Amino acid sequence: ETGVTQSPTHLIKTRGQQVTLRCSSQSGHNTVSWYQQALGQGPQFIFQYYREEENGRGNFPPRFSGLQFPNYSSELNVNALELDDSALYLCASSLKGTDGVEQYFGPGTRLTVT
Amino acid sequence: LAKTTQPISMDSYEGQEVNITCSHNNIATNDYITWYQQFPSQGPRFIIQGYKTKVTNEVASLFIPADRKSSTLSLPRVSLSDTAVYYCLVGDRGTALIFGKGTTLSVSS
């Protein structure tokens, strides 16, 4: 059973640029959630995808968007990067529709915006 | 969504039992209580989840009183490797996880 993987590990972008982060969910999981974690803070929910549809969104602007693919992997896209977007981006997978609601997190992508 | 309150930091020594209490006065009927552990530069890791009374697994115990307005995570005989941030979360299972700032546990030898 493979765990949640994310790519890239680290990324440096310039303000105004666009970035795409990728996540492969744990085998058998149909739900992916994305979180942003600023230094010293807890993770903040961005959105969740279930069977390729957005299934909930946190307080993030529309320039944060996502996709989920038929194999349940996912992408997080951020347009018009701002300095405050510098953070650790975490993806978590889970299996919706059962009693197992534990979310399994990947190691994260560290994004630095300069 | 129920808000949680937990200590910002705690210190302990190896071999001691550590109890971290979380307050959640506005917990809803459908809400479960879940604890996650996070090491620096890693994603959070599920520790334990419960609805009422006591839950125990190989890592920790979770004590929940009858009114469910608080909960206590108990870590038996901590080691240096238990130094981490511990998050208490309250919510309906399957929904987004709402994290607070967590409790930073420092274990010394």
User: Is A56 within 8 Å of B49 when comparing Cβ atoms?
Assistant: no
Kindly list the residues from chain B whose CB atom is less than 8 angstroms away from the CB atom of residue A4. 43
User: Is A103 within 8 Å of B97 when comparing Cβ atoms?
Assistant: yes
HEC states along chain A? CCCCEEECCEEEECCCCCEEEEEECCCCCCEEEEEEECCCCCCEEEEEEECCEEEEECCCCCCEEEEECCCCCEEEEECCCCHHHCEEEEEEEECCCCCCCCCEECCCEEEEEC
Percent of chain A at pLDDT exceeding 90 = 76
Does residue A100 surpass a pLDDT of 90? no
pLDDT digit string (tens) for B23-81? 999 999 988 999 999 998 899 999 999 999 999 999 999 999 999 999 999 999 999 99
User: Is A103 within 8 Å of B46 when comparing Cβ atoms?
Assistant: yes
Going across the sheet that includes A19-24, the strands are A5-7, A19-24, A74-78, A64-68
Higher pLDDT, B100 or A98: B100
